[in-house]
Amino acid sequence: MWRDPFEEMRRFQREMNRLFATFWGLPESIKTLPDMRRDIQSFREPLIDMKETNKELIAYIEIPGVDKEDIQLDVTDNNIKIKAEKKAETKTEKDGYIRAERSYSGFYRSMNLPCRIIPERVKASYKNGVLEVVMPKAEKKKTRKVKIE
């Protein structure tokens, strides 16, 4: 019985993709897809520029070609996660044939922030493929010396 010598390598690649998808917290649908082309490779890291002022952090995140409704932004006091998924499907029926195309792409990035922020006061806007996230800084915790009795 003939066996494809590369099948074991493809299986190993799928398992590694699932492992990394689990590690990076990607959605369950990505981890279980059998098609290697749609595993973790279909997510790209968006480019981020970060600006810090005395009162806030401002992130400019490039997510071209995505509708703002397809962007998920999660913020904690020291972390930001951006996920955007874009799906497209076209179907053409002409002269006795059917042509159907599907495409899927997405962006995902999680990063720790250089300082603590106030998640409840974060504001975001999306224009021309750039997501702007304004994050007010939290006050630094003051320390005090305690006299030991």
- Residue by residue, DSSP assigns the chain as ----TTHHHHHHHHHHHHHHHHHHT--HHHHT-S-GGGSGGGEEPPPEEEEE-SSEEEEEEE-TT--GGGEEEEE-SSEEEEEEEEEEEEEEEETTEEEEEEEEEEEEEEEE-SS-B-GGG-EEEEETTEEEEEEEBPPPPP-------
**34 pLDDT above the threshold of 50:** no
Segment 46-65 mean pLDDT: 92
Does 33 share its domain with 103? no
Does 69 share its domain with 118? yes
Question: Considering the domain boundaries, does residue 143 fall inside one?
Answer: no
Kindly report, residue by residue over 3-30, the tens digit of the pLDDT: 677 777 877 887 887 777 766 666 544 5
Does 34 share its domain with 53? no
Question: Considering the domain boundaries, does residue 35 fall inside one?
Answer: yes
Does 58 share its domain with 91? yes
Q: What does the pLDDT read at residue 43?
A: 73
Query: Domain span at residue 35?
Result: 1-42
Does 35 share its domain with 97? no
Does 123 share its domain with 52? yes
Does 7 share its domain with 56? no
The reported pTM is 0.62
Segment 65-91 mean pLDDT: 88
Question: What percentage of the chain exceeds 90 in pLDDT?
Answer: 35
Total of domains in the chain: 2
